[in-house]
Amino acid sequence: MLGFLSAVVFGSNSKFLYFLFRTGAVIGNGVEPMLVMEYMEHGSLHDLIHNETMVLEGDLLLNILRDISQGVRFLHSATPQVIHGDLKAANILVDRRFRCKVADFGLSQKKNLGGTGTPFWMAPELLRKESPNTAATDVYSFGIILYEIFSRRNPYEGEDAREVLRLVADKAVCKRPTLPPNCPPTISSLMADCLVDGAEKRPSFNEIDLRLKETHENFDVDPRTLRTVSQRASAISPLAVFPKHIAQALKDGRVVEPERKDVVTILYCSIIGLSTLSATMHPSKVADLLDRVYTKFDDLSRKHDVFNVETVGDSYMAVANLVKDQESDHAKRIANFAMDAVKSANETYIDLEDHDMGFAKIRVGVHSGPVIADVVGSRNPRYCLLGDSVKMTSEMESNSKENRILCSDTAADILAYQCPEYMLDVRRGVTIKGKGEMRTFWVYED
């Protein structure tokens, strides 16, 4: 997976540039060593696991672990053997496809006495100065990385560093990080084996990779252990926000081409008065309100099989006939979703501790028309809908009223055909930016 590609001599000073897949070093006489880094869209694994808005679970976690184990396995199998010497989440880089690359090992082969590394990731024999860095000490560091990933915390956070290191090195105590709660049993067992005191008792990276491979079929993480801003248990992986074929293309590193759909039905809805609530409520309560409302909307999106494009602030956007062929009932699906969304919001308390504040209220806008769907951005790629239809839907929402559904004449025509049981009441006098006055319709249940 990783290794030296070539060594090139620059100029008369014999400065060497060692090219690695993701890292390298420039070493010259009389100058400070310099690392050469390639830009990685998601930064380091440390950045990723400490970003609480990023949910990590399932296959994504397993792929991360296997990328690390295979990368170090490659280093250890080299001739002469390459020992990393400072393996930790901060030295694992993550690209736009959430593939991990082992970095910062280019200077690990310098001559030194004793052990090197970052103290909390160093094996006890290194702390006791009984051994230099070895393949087994890299295995110990991998065990600490397992703790980092599944706890989403730094090891021994908040503890006295000197005391921690003394107890880690003490053979009678063998202090180690506590196994993260609800960590999968296979990972807990692997972490324990990597962190044993005796270097000869630790598995090799060949064995680690084999154990991770065998874990794949039964790899399951309790979402409660994966801390997010809302702490909701219905956690999803980052790629789950994309349609299946888009997620697979991103995972494979393929270019995602824009897709055109001649007709979809889009819904925008927003929570009324959120700005006022944000000024009077504690931010944690506002976040809790949004979480409770949008979790219900997510359940409804699955019920009616519509795709949630994005959730930003007080706005929720969904679409039908985009990621699946729903030509015969896309407007009906969105109308059904809209009706249920209004009812669901009206059953959601604004403040669970103060019922006198009443229930949430939303306004909804619906439009049907053509769109372009594309993935934009690289560091945090987003699946977006582009085109005039998106603007029109937003205008429908902004011109709607409390607990009501306003749709364009285009959406109304399709809805009348697909779902004649809904009543459509014409609303005149709605002025749309750039288009002037337009005919719109209120949607009612019969």
Domain C-terminal end among 191, 225, 259: 225
Same domain, 304 and 431: yes
pLDDT digits (tens, 9 = 90+) for 78-132: 888 999 999 999 999 987 677 888 988 754 444 454 568 899 999 999 999 999 9
Please give the Cα distance from 367 to 265 (Å, whole number): 6
Domain harbouring 137, CATH code: 1.10.510.10
* Position with higher pLDDT, 233 vs 123: 123
Rg (CA), the chain: 28
Same domain, 198 and 61: yes
Same domain, 197 and 307: no
Per-residue DSSP letters for 190-252?
Answer: HHHHHT-S-GGGSPPHHHHHHHHHHHGGG----GGGS--SS--S----GGGGS-HHHHHHHHH
Lateral strand order in the sheet of 23-27: 4-10, 15-20, 23-27, 34-37
**Looking at the domain assignment, is residue 28 inside a domain?**
no
* pLDDT at 221 exceeding the cut of 60: no
- Is 375:258 a contact under the CB 8 Å cutoff? no
* Position with higher pLDDT, 274 vs 218: 274
* Position with higher pLDDT, 309 vs 141: 141
pLDDT digits (tens, 9 = 90+) for 324-338: 899 999 999 999 999
Same domain, 221 and 248: no
* Position with higher pLDDT, 48 vs 407: 407
- The CA angle 361-440-307, to the nearest 5 degrees, is 60
Beta carbons within 10 angstroms of residue 225's beta carbon = 16
- Is 122:84 a contact under the CB 8 Å cutoff? no
Same domain, 261 and 221: no
Same domain, 342 and 277: yes
Domain C-terminal end among 179, 198, 225: 225
**Looking at the domain assignment, is residue 1 inside a domain?**
no
Domain C-terminal end among 225, 255, 287: 225
* pLDDT at 145 exceeding the cut of 90: yes
pLDDT digits (tens, 9 = 90+) for 166-208: 999 999 999 999 888 767 888 889 999 999 999 999 999 999 9
Q: How high is the pLDDT of residue 432? A: 81
Structure tokens, 403? 């607990």
Mean pLDDT of the chain: 81
* Position with higher pLDDT, 220 vs 438: 438
Query: What mean pLDDT is predicted for residues 429-433?
Result: 80
pLDDT band with cut points at 50, 70 and 90 for residue 380: low
DSSP class of residue 44 equals: B
**Looking at the domain assignment, is residue 309 inside a domain?**
yes
Please give the Cα distance from 446 to 441 (Å, whole number): 15
Same domain, 255 and 151: no
Beta carbons within 10 angstroms of residue 159's beta carbon = 12
**Looking at the domain assignment, is residue 230 inside a domain?**
no
Domain harbouring 386, CATH code: 3.30.70.1230
Q: With pLDDT > 70 as the criterion, what percentage of the chain qualifies?
A: 78
Instruction: For residue 157, give every residue at least 6 positions away whose Cβ sits within 8 Å of its Cβ, in sequence order, or none.
Output: none
Same domain, 269 and 403: yes
* Position with higher pLDDT, 436 vs 175: 175
Please give the Cα distance from 155 to 276 (Å, whole number): 41
- Is 66:78 a contact under the CB 8 Å cutoff? no
What is the number of structural domains in the chain? 2
Same domain, 195 and 306: no
pLDDT band with cut points at 50, 70 and 90 for residue 224: very low
Please give the Cα distance from 213 to 217 (Å, whole number): 8
**Looking at the domain assignment, is residue 32 inside a domain?**
no
Q: How high is the pLDDT of residue 252? A: 66
Query: What mean pLDDT is predicted for residues 37-50?
Result: 79
- Is 359:381 a contact under the CB 8 Å cutoff? no
- Is the pTM higher than 0.75? The answer reads no
Same domain, 212 and 274: no
Query: What mean pLDDT is predicted for residues 54-62?
Result: 71
**Looking at the domain assignment, is residue 6 inside a domain?**
no
**Looking at the domain assignment, is residue 29 inside a domain?**
no
Q: With pLDDT > 90 as the criterion, what percentage of the chain qualifies?
A: 49
Same domain, 187 and 254: no
Domain span including residue 342: 242-445
Using DSSP's 3-state secondary structure scheme, residue 315 falls into strand
List own/partner pairs for 292-297 with CB under 8 A and 24 or more apart: 292/348, 293/344, 293/345, 293/348, 293/360, 293/362, 295/230, 295/232, 295/234, 296/341, 296/344, 296/345, 296/348, 297/269, 297/341, 297/344
**Looking at the domain assignment, is residue 155 inside a domain?**
yes
Please give the Cα distance from 139 to 141 (Å, whole number): 5
Q: How high is the pLDDT of residue 35? A: 64
Structure tokens, 37? 């880094």
The CA-to-CA distance between both ends of the chain, in Å, stands at 62
Same domain, 55 and 107: yes
Instruction: For residue 247, give every residue at least 6 positions away whose Cβ sits within 8 Å of its Cβ, in sequence order, or none.
Output: 239, 240
